[in-house]
Amino acid sequence: MQAADAVRCERLTVRFTTERGTVTALENIDLAIPRGSFLTLLGPSGCGKSTLLRVMADLIEPSSGKMSVMGDVPAVARLNREIGFVFQDAALLPWRNVLSNVTLPLEVGGGKALPGARAPQDLLALVGLSGWEQAYPHELSGGMRQRVAIARALVSGPRLLLMDEPFGALDEITRDRLNEELLQVWASTGTTIVFVTHSIYEAAFLGQKVLLLAARPGRVRELVPVTLGTPRQLAMRETPEFVALAGHLRRVLETC
């Protein structure tokens, strides 16, 4: 394990056994994700993207091989509150207002924020929701609910933010805006981000690298570096460089 890596897996394999038989969701995954980096995961449905995130988050045990998060087993990283998770559905508690949804992780399990964690109000400002602290989830749009979920995932000051298709259900304009905001959140918090998407454009726009997974069994097909400059701007998606990158990702995906 190198201290510089936020996540490292070696020959990681995950099998699920049900009454219909055994599925190899991930097979022999070797991967190192440097601290502070932004990795996007792209691959066909069922290739193990969510499973990989769940092993990082200590929600699933590997069948064999190794996974480490921040230099330790995922369980230690989870107990130390080093991991934040954002799912496709914001899953806010409807009876709590925005602010108390964001502070929820600080209440459960008597947890405390890590040194350097931002105040809940600052996080709401960072995701563009200043003034909405007292509103209830039913008063928010889907994009606003996802912003609350991002603020909630950041409240403990995690070193690793796992995002599983967080913007998949949103319209394209909202998604574009949230993509730009997420890059600002990344730049200002320095947290490592692992982001699952089905969108080639989102994967290429957000990631420093794009990890392409192939299905059945889930395995690494290619780790593609993104050479676009920073800070990323939406207009970069029209550059020949971006179009070439998206074309490459599409061609590889077709073989996954």
Ligand X SMILES: Nc1ncnc2c1ncn2[C@@H]1O[C@H](COP(=O)(O)OP(=O)(O)OP(=O)(O)O)[C@@H](O)[C@H]1O
In angstroms, the CA 255 to CA 201 distance is 18
Sheet with 21-34: list strands edge to edge: 21-34, 5-18, 64-69
Instruction: Compute the least distance from the CB of residue 220 to ligand X, in Å.
Output: 13
Minimum CB distance to Mg ion smaller for 82 or for 164: 164
**DSSP H or E segment with residue 151:** helix 142-154
Minimum CB distance to ligand X smaller for 123 or for 196: 196
8 Å CB contact between 194 and 7: yes
Find how far residue 72's CA is from the centre of its chain. 19
The entry of Mg ion, ligand X, none near residue 71 (CB within 5 to 8 angstroms by kind) is none
Q: Which of residues 7-36 bind ligand X (CB under 6 A)?
A: 16, 18, 23, 25
Q: Which of 2, 19, 45, 107 binds ligand X (CB under 6 A)?
A: 45
Instruction: Compute the least distance from the CB of residue 198 to ligand X, in Å.
Output: 6
Look up residue 130 and give its DSSP letter: T
8 Å CB contact between 88 and 166: yes
In total, the chain counts a number of residues equal to 256
Helix (H, G, I), strand (E, B) or coil at 131: coil
Instruction: List phi, psi (to 5°) of 145.
Output: -65, -40
Instruction: Compute the least distance from the CB of residue 50 to Mg ion, in Å.
Output: 3
Q: Which stretch binds ligand X (CB under 6 A): 48-56, 78-86, 203-211, 219-227?
A: 48-56
CA angle 111, 112, 118 (to 5 degrees): 135
Q: Which of 13, 37, 40, 50 binds ligand X (CB under 6 A)?
A: 50
Helix (H, G, I), strand (E, B) or coil at 59: coil
- Check binding of 37 to ligand X (CB under 6 A): no
Minimum CB distance to ligand X smaller for 177 or for 216: 216
Instruction: Compute the least distance from the CB of residue 16 to ligand X, in Å.
Output: 3
Minimum CB distance to ligand X smaller for 40 or for 51: 51
Q: Which of 13, 40, 51, 191 binds ligand X (CB under 6 A)?
A: 51
Beta strand residue intervals within the chain, DSSP E: 5-18, 21-34, 38-42, 64-69, 83-86, 160-164, 192-196, 209-214, 219-225
Instruction: Compute the least distance from the CB of residue 217 to ligand X, in Å.
Output: 9
Nearest C-alpha neighbor of 24 from the set 212, 214, 156, 179 = 214
The entry of ligand X, Mg ion, none near residue 247 (CB within 5 to 8 angstroms by kind) is none
The entry of ligand X, Mg ion, none near residue 18 (CB within 5 to 8 angstroms by kind) is ligand X
Instruction: Compute the least distance from the CB of residue 238 to ligand X, in Å.
Output: 27
Q: What is the contact surface with Mg ion in residues (CB under 5 A)?
A: 50
Minimum CB distance to Mg ion smaller for 160 or for 245: 160
Find how far residue 48's CA is from the centre of its chain. 14
Instruction: Compute the least distance from the CB of residue 233 to ligand X, in Å.
Output: 28
- Binding-site ranges for ligand X (CB under 6 A): 16, 18, 23, 25, 43, 45-51
